[in-house]
């Protein structure tokens, strides 16, 4: 490993480690349970351990002199956020399938190279998978085809 470190990266890694350790400390008051019967402290403790490990990895990671250039792409952000909002606004009136199709189309148009066949395949697959997982499997009370 190279010894090139910057103060900003070291501080950022320290903040991540501190957040992970605080999560571990706060979740230690809750019962852990077992893997098959998790208590309320199980997931926060596991996440705290993962966050702490990631912070340590950030601190130890080999850094290069090159700094990545951050590019803010507003169109993908707006289309994906708009698709999520449209889904939330239309799922009750239009139903799960139509709202999910709208969401998938909004998200697919920002990706270069998608064809109508690819988008149609995504719509069919994600609508079917979402229906099976959320409506049938988890029993979420959503209408498949609207009111």
80-112 pLDDT, tens per residue? 999 999 999 999 999 999 999 999 999 998 888
Report d(CA 96, CA 80) in Å as an integer: 17
What would the mean pLDDT of 10-37 be, rounded to a whole number?
90
The SS3 call for residue 112 is: coil
Minimal CA–CA distance to 48: which of 20, 14, 28?
20
pTM over 0.75: no
Domain containing 38 equals 7-60
At 37, list the tokens: 């019967």
47 found inside a domain: yes
Per-residue pLDDT, 67: 67
Q: Whole-angstrom Cα distance, residue 123 to residue 97?
A: 9
Residues 78 and 54 in one domain: no
Is the confidence at residue 1, as pLDDT, over 60? Answer: no
pLDDT (mean) for 46-66: 84
> Looking at the structure, do residues 89 and 49 belong to the same domain, yes or no?
no
Establish if 66 belongs to a structural domain.
no
93 domain residue, yes or no = yes
Mean pLDDT of 62-89: 83
pLDDT score of 62 more than 70: no
Task: Return mean pLDDT, the chain.
Answer: 87
The residue-averaged pLDDT of 110-129 equals 92
Q: pLDDT-derived band of residue 15, with 50, 70 and 90 as boundaries? A: very high
Distance, CA of 105 to CA of 51 (rounded, Å): 34
Residue 69 in any domain: the answer is: no
């Amino acid at each position: 490993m190279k010894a090139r470190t910057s103060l900003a990266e070291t501080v950022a890694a320290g903040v991540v480690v501190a957040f992970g350790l605080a999560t571990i400390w706060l979740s230690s008051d809750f019962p852990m349970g077992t893997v098959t019967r998790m208590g309320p402290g199980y997931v926060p403790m596991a996440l705290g351990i993962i966050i702490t490990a990631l912070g340590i990895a950030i601190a130890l990671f080999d850094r290069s002199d090159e700094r990545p250039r951050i590019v803010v792409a507003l169109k993908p952000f707006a289309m994906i956020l708009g698709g999520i909002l449209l889904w939330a606004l239309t799922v009750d009136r239009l139903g799960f399938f139509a709202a999910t199709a709208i969401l998938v189309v909004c998200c697919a148009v920002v990706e270069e190279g998608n064809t109508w066949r690819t988008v149609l395949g995504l719509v069919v697959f994600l609508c079917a998978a979402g229906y099976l997982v959320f409506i049938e499997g988890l029993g979420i009370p959503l209408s498949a085809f609207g009111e």
